Amino acid sequence: MCCEVREVRPGLWVWRMDHPDWQPDAGWEPPVTSTCAMSGGEIAVIDPIAPPEAATEVWERLDASPPTLAVVLKPDHVRDVDVFVRRYGARAFGPYLFWRDNIPETELDGLEPGTRLPGGFEALYDGRGRAETPLWVPEQRALVFADALTERAGELRVWGTPWHEDRVLPALRALLELPFEHVIVSHGEPVHDRAAYERALELPPWSEP
């Protein structure tokens, strides 16, 4: 599996690779994004997938500035959190509940909206009822999402739910109070700006065909 590294700004970068368990009926394309962000002297890997050892650019960057935190944003994004805990001794955070076939070996500190992590990272509320907690990275002025938003056909979109108007839009509009400049999503084109986020709130939600 190839691995693409992309610099967003100093202290904020992502790597993309094909999800090892991808299936054609998944509803999203194989490449998914993992994020590394620095804030308040802490370095967090967010929803990370461990690349193969041959992906030296990723591992050399992580080894040079070892992550101190490993953060899982939603129950089905456990991915390879255990790998990063074992390799770097990172403190792990994540949901209180997981799918029965996707439980980490590591005991994660609970993450819910309002949780403040070392370094000033903060878990947010997305209103979608999917147990996702987007992450605010204050030093990088960035929001990192698991699945609440996705890129489709060149546009950032809110992933549809039955509660889009009543709960989701009010929650996502409330995040506009944060002074973010960057939005990072797991599926599709990973890096977007504040204007794209604002447009996404005006577009119809994206739903699988």
Any idea what the CATH number is for the domain that residue 114 is in? Answer: 3.60.15.10
- Whether 24 shows a pLDDT value over 80: the answer reads no
List the structure tokens of 172.
């996502």
- pLDDT, residue 29, reads 74
Q: What is the CA radius of gyration of the chain?
A: 16
Q: How many domains does the chain have?
A: 1
User: Is 159 part of a structural domain of the chain?
Assistant: yes
- pLDDT, residue 115, reads 97
- Whether 125 shows a pLDDT value over 90: the answer reads yes
List the structure tokens of 126.
């997305």
Indicate the range of 2-6, 27-31, 146-150, 156-160 predicted with least confidence.
Answer: 27-31
- Whether 105 shows a pLDDT value over 90: the answer reads yes
Q: What pTM was estimated for this model as a whole? A: 0.94
User: Is 81 part of a structural domain of the chain?
Assistant: yes
Listed residue (191, 198, 137) closest to 169, CA to CA: 198
Collect all residues with Cβ–Cβ distance below 8 Å to 151 and sequence separation of at least 6. 157, 185, 187, 188, 189, 190, 192
User: Is 120 part of a structural domain of the chain?
Assistant: yes
- Whether 193 shows a pLDDT value over 70: the answer reads yes
Provide the domain limits for residue 153.
3-200
- Whether 16 shows a pLDDT value over 80: the answer reads yes
